[in-house]
């Protein structure tokens, strides 16, 4: 029996990848960097290590994720209107899950302060028991450690957990943790979503899937 739903954040709760990508393209173009869509797809849903590797290659050894995003925030301002990019019907799904007694957490590769800030901004913080951040682990997704720890803290077996993901790295991590995976379909960033158990286009589809998964 499924007892918990674990949500990724970027690309699952909010359509953040499109926000980040537009700013990043503007920034890299201003810097005169030569890059391809494949370069950007390789970091979508990735960790600081993925970003560091790309930025070092494009901009020099002194430019990693922290340096680049600090400059971007200074230049463009930090994006704040997270409610405007929250996915449709997400809150209805979460309210339904709460009503049915599912436990819910967020497990994201993003930094903890970003998770806390964004989940509060979209007014969903009261629904989640706790958050796990990729910065808490030696290796983030696709390493399954974050999902293994999620089950441990929930006191549940992996078979009792459902993960909602979108990226190649996130789906792989959840599969390696032996959890059921629902992927929110996204063909904009070159994700391989083939390992997911189910693909959805709309969060209203999840209710019917839960009946099947039980």
In the DSSP assignment, the letter for residue 9 is S
User: Active site residue: 10, 15, 166, 186, which one?
Assistant: 10
Task: Give yes or no: 10 in active site.
Answer: yes
Cis peptide leading into 142, omega within 30 of 0? yes
Q: Cα torsion at 199, 201, 202, 204 (round to 10°)?
A: -40
Neighbours of 167 (CB within 10 A): 27
Nearest-angstrom CA–CA distance, 168 and 71 = 28
Q: Which residues contact 103 (CB under 8 A, 6 or more apart)?
A: 3, 4, 5, 129, 154, 156
User: Active site residue: 8, 15, 52, 186, which one?
Assistant: 8
Task: Give yes or no: 166 in active site.
Answer: no
Q: Judge whether 147 and 107 are in contact, CB under 8 Å.
A: yes
Which residues are the active-site residues? 8, 10
């Amino acid at each position: 029996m499924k007892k918990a739903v674990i949500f990724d954040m970027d690309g699952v709760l909010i359509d953040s990848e499109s926000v980040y990508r537009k700013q990043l393209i503007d920034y890299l173009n201003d810097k005169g960097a030569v890059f391809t869509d494949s370069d950007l797809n390789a970091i979508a849903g990735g960790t600081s290590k993925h970003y560091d590797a790309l930025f070092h290659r494009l901009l020099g050894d002194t430019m990693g994720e922290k340096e680049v995003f600090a400059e971007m925030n200074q230049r463009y301002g930090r994006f704040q209107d997270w409610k405007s990019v929250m996915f449709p019907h997400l809150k209805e799904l979460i309210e339904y899950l709460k009503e049915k007694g599912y436990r819910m957490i967020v497990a994201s590769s993003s930094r903890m302060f970003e998770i806390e800030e964004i989940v509060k901004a979209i007014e969903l913080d009261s629904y989640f028991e706790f958050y796990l951040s990729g910065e808490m682990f030696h290796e983030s997704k696709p390493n399954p450690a974050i999902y293994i720890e999620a089950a441990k803290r929930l006191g549940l077996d992996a078979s009792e957990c459902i993960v909602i993901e979108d990226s190649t790295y996130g789906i792989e991590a959840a599969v390696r943790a032996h959890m059921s995976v629902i992927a929110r379909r996204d063909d904009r960033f070159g994700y391989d979503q083939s390992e997911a158990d189910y693909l959805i286009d709309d969060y209203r589809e999840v209710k019917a899937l839960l009946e099947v998964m039980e």
